[in-house]
Amino acid sequence: MAKTRCVKCGVVPVTFELVPIMPTAPRLKLFGPSYAGSKPVAVQCAACGTTIGVSDFLNIKELMDKLEEIAGRLDRIERRLPK
């Protein structure tokens, strides 16, 4: 299996880190709609800092917790409805 290497410094195996970034255009939408709590991050080589990519970072745990809360509310509403 091939090993990932940084395109600039050539470190093998490379480790990546997520670094929050601030776009220069305040209304910039990276990929699709903006979500509450969504922050743009750069994926970069931990050794030399070369940016590999940019993404919207969504806190999946937070979104799943909100979905669980909504599902609980819907269950309570459903139980109150007459059958």
Q: What is the pLDDT along the chain (83 residues), one digit of tens a residue?
A: 778 888 899 888 888 888 888 777 665 555 544 555 567 788 899 999 999 888 776 666 677 788 899 999 999 999 999 87
> Which residue type sits at 20?
P
Residue 42 has a pLDDT of: 84
Residue 64 has a pLDDT of: 76
Rounded to whole angstroms, the Cα distance separating 23 from 42 reads 11
